[in-house]
Structure 1
Amino acid sequence: MEGLVMEKIDKSILNQVIIPRNPESYKGNYGKVLIIAGSNHFGGAAILASSATVHSGAGLVTVATTPEKFTAINTKIPEAMTLDYHNKKELLTAILDNTVIAIGPGLGTSSIAKGLVKAVLNNTKTDQTVILDASALTIIAEEKIPLQTTAHIILTPHQGEWQRLSQLEIPEQTETNNFNSIQALNPDAVLVLKKHHSEIYYQDLTFQIEAGNAGMATGGMGDTLTGIMAGFIGQFGYSLATIQAALLIHSTIGDRLNQKHYVILPSNIIEKLPKYMAKYSSQDHES
């Protein structure tokens, strides 16, 4: 599509999405999120994604992972429930029972991981949101798995993962080429392309954030964004605005921390989420 105009995402989106909570509410009002992540070698990714989901306000969070990581997750994130993703019956029940499913951080590309990705895409429905990240994107590219689920689909690749999925070399990842590629994969999917000044593609709309910094170039930063996005959609609902707000608050906190920190750790951003969400929900922009 020629003539795409990339719109800048304004911080007013944060006030629009992050609204004060109803005093008469309970955890069930803020979404049920399933994080399918982690493996023996990459347990930290599951912890970061799940911790970000909890800290960004999801009501109920379940982490489907390998049992070897249960203790670490239960210690670090006691608010989250754990599930053995090798148990196909329990996993299927969880897939059907959660409103938001994020899959991929630290999952690896084993035959088990491939089965998990297929299980999600084959069993999710129209009222659910599926966030495909990291290893899930690699598996979809390698196995040529069609993105034909009726659920809302969000792809969150960095440029290397997008290259594998779209067959576009990084210099070829122009607005028009990216648009055409996501249309070919699934015309109703949202592409969140993680890069310097990350971009969002949805149908005939394109957006860019003017936030983020080199201090955020740290392992686990993408896993954290996935968790924030899952938490935001769980409690605020699926919408383009919700996706924009999740992307923007991630980088906005990173920029604030970068004023005093040379390197920004994902865990530092996660710790600040409740504070910044409170500020934007009350229209307060001061630090």
Structure 2
Amino acid sequence: MQKIDKSILTQVIKPRDPISYKGNFGKILIIAGSTHFGGAAIMSASAAVYAGAGLVTVATVPEKFAAINSRLPEAMTIDYSNLMDTLDSIKQSDVIVIGPGLGTSSTANSLVQLVIDHTNQSQTIIFDASALTLIAEQNIDISKISANVVLTPHQGEWNRLSDLTIKDQTPENNQRMLHSLAPNALLIIKKHLSEIYYEGSISQITAGNAGMATGGMGDTLTGIIAAFVGQFDFSQDTVEAALFLHSYVADKLFKKNYVILPEQLIQELPKTMQKIATK
């Protein structure tokens, strides 16, 4: 198993071209949030913006628009119950995140299918949280999606997807089940020393701490991954760098903080990325 260390950051994070505009850094659509879980959409979108995404749109329930617009004026908002508007945004986006705080309603299920049916090989889909639950519960086939696919389950969600108990989630079993579910997908199993599975290879980060065990940390990671793919293109290195940066920033904060809040981590992203890019 290959170990992911700090060197991945300098391989991926580079100085920005001085002649560039927001379209150069990725159009990200985040389909997230619900009446009871609006924070997930805010954290995922905030992480995407602060990690450098050029344009971020949040598709969510209208009652969360004011909270998102006041907390994150850089992001645009659309009502995901309007499937035509959402479809237009899907088609125009480089990266589509679906799942944080979305719930498992019939509307959420329709949105998952909309994304699967209307993306192409030039795009990346990041399935997270509720979307993973729906895929497992509804036996949704994700094996033939033409877009790049990133799956981001924690161990409980991976259990639902793979039927592997946590004690049976060995590298060999995980790789076998990924090949069965979605052979072309990149899988991140979120846990202490998270693992990445892609095209037969297995890697593991060498960062992270107990202070990260708080709500919203996974939503934050998803936003960082979306921003990185939008800026640096889809690759295993790009996703590994996003995963490592998330824990690397948290490790720095953990030196002075008993608990790491997602908002704290998000605020540190631009400064940390600039230091890495200008070394």
Task: Give the TM-score range, shorter chain.
Answer: over 0.9
Partner in structure 2 of residue 52 of structure 1: 47
2:73 is the alignment partner of 1:78: yes
Q: Percent identity?
A: 60
Which residue of 77, 98, 109 corresponds with 2:93?
A: 98
Which residue of 191, 194, 218 corresponds with 1:195?
A: 191
Distance of 2:124 and 2:200 partners within structure 1: 20
Partner in structure 2 of residue 31 of structure 1: 26
What's the TM-score, normalizing by structure 1?
0.96
Distance of 1:10 and 1:220 partners within structure 2: 24
Which residue of 258, 277, 282 corresponds with 2:278?
A: 282
Q: Which amino acid aligns with 1:125?
A: N
Offset at residue 191 of structure 1 (A): 0.3
Q: Indicate the SS of the match to 1:211.
A: coil
Partner in structure 1 of residue 131 of structure 2: 136
State how 1:1-287 maps to structure 2 within 5 Å.
Answer: 6-147=1-142, 148-283=144-279
What's the TM-score, normalizing by structure 2?
0.99
Distance of 1:161 and 1:266 partners within structure 2: 21
Q: Which amino acid aligns with 1:191?
A: L
Q: Which amino acid aligns with 1:144?
A: N
| Aligned positions, number | 278
Distance of 1:87 and 1:112 partners within structure 2: 10
Offset at residue 203 of structure 1 (A): 1.5
Distance of 1:253 and 1:31 partners within structure 2: 22
Distance of 1:282 and 1:183 partners within structure 2: 39
Distance of 1:267 and 1:166 partners within structure 2: 32
Offset at residue 156 of structure 1 (A): 0.2
Partner in structure 2 of residue 3 of structure 1: none
What are the superposed Cα offsets for residues 29-80 of structure 1, whole Å, 9 maximum, x if unpaired?
A: 1010000000000000000000000000000000000000000000000000
Offset at residue 11 of structure 1 (A): 1.0
Distance of 1:124 and 1:203 partners within structure 2: 21
Offset at residue 10 of structure 1 (A): 2.1
Distance of 1:266 and 1:183 partners within structure 2: 32
Distance of 1:204 and 1:139 partners within structure 2: 26
Offset at residue 185 of structure 1 (A): 0.7
In angstroms, what is the RMSD of aligned CA positions? 0.5
* Deviating 4+ runs (over 6 angstroms): none
Q: Which amino acid aligns with 1:126?
A: Q
Q: Which amino acid aligns with 2:265?
A: I
Distance of 2:90 and 2:17 partners within structure 1: 28
Offset at residue 204 of structure 1 (A): 1.0
Offset at residue 149 of structure 1 (A): 1.2
Distance of 1:162 and 1:227 partners within structure 2: 20
Distance of 1:169 and 1:43 partners within structure 2: 30
Distance of 1:216 and 1:87 partners within structure 2: 35
Q: Which amino acid aligns with 1:155?
A: L
